Amino acid sequence: MPPRFFPERDRDVYRDALAMSIGIGIVGVSFGALATSAGLPWWIPVAMSFLTFAATSQFAMLAVMMAGGGVLAGLAAGVLVHLRHVPYGLAVGNLYWDKWWTRLLGTFMLIDQSTAFALAAGDDRRRAKAAYWITTSIMFVAWNVGTVIGVLAGGFIPDPNVFGLDAAFPALLLALVMPAMKDRDTLLAALVGAGVAAATAPFLPTGIPVLLGLLGLLATWPRRKPKEDAA
């Protein structure tokens, strides 16, 4: 039963986001522990998580630099895997484009989960906004707390895969995009896009295949239909 202290409104979003935060926290622990075991001083992973707040980018940069790839190669890898946030920003950017500080904060906190939760709210703008801020704030706390614990854990690197957490993330996103699939064009575009991404993933650097997935949109480019004059 959801705890009483949650507001009545959006209680399900709080509950889901809090549950997700356990997984993100554990991944954060493994990031902090991995960075420390690579010989980095504690403030590097901590600052990275606090200032970047992008798990895949941070892991990508760390991996490249640990393999001796240098700063520029690390940066390139980190930014490349992040490019999927351009279409995210296009889709949900209007939710926080109000005052200068909500723009700043909302931009900083654009992540996979906040995008997916906001989109799952559908056309209800108030709920989409609430979902965006609630999920991203909870994830931010979990990610940073996890990183700090990982740094303190010193040498003990948990393997999130043991808990199946690598399945939890795609399953979460799948559940969140599912309602949008009621729209046949969206379903078709998503199927084609997923196919393109899966077919190219073995050959291209991480980050590119999901962007190539956007080609799926071509399968359903919306035409101007007469019924649009209702708008």
Partner 1 sequence: MTMTAVLALAVGVFLVRLAGPLMRSRITVSERTETLMKRGAIVVLAALVITGALFADGGFAGWALPAGVLVGGVLAWRRAPILVVVVAAAATTALLRLAGIA
Map the footprint of partner 1 across residues 152-211, applying CB under 8 A.
161-178, 180, 183, 185-186, 189-191, 193-198, 201-202, 206, 209-211
CB of 108 to partner 1, least distance (A): 6
CB of 165 to partner 1, least distance (A): 6
Cβ atoms < 10 Å from Cβ of 57: 22
Among 73, 75, 145, 149, binds partner 1 (CB under 8 A): 75
Among 16, 132, 144, 151, binds partner 1 (CB under 8 A): 16
Burial 26-45 (b: 16+ CB within 10 A, else e): bbbbbbbbbbbeeebebebb
Q: Specify the residue, 152 or 198, whose C-beta has the smaller distance to partner 1.
A: 198
Q: What is the DSSP string of 168-223?
A: HHHHHHHHHHGGGGGSHHHHHHHHHHHHHHHHHTTTS-TTHHHHHGGGGGGGGPPP
Q: Specify the residue, 156 or 163, whose C-beta has the smaller distance to partner 1.
A: 163
Quote helix, strand, coil % in the chain, to nearest 5: 75, 0, 25
Among 37, 73, 93, 127, binds partner 1 (CB under 8 A): 93
Number of residues that bind partner 1 (CB under 8 A): 97
Does 67 bind partner 1 (CB under 8 A)? Our answer is: no
Q: In one letter, which amino acid is 91?
A: A
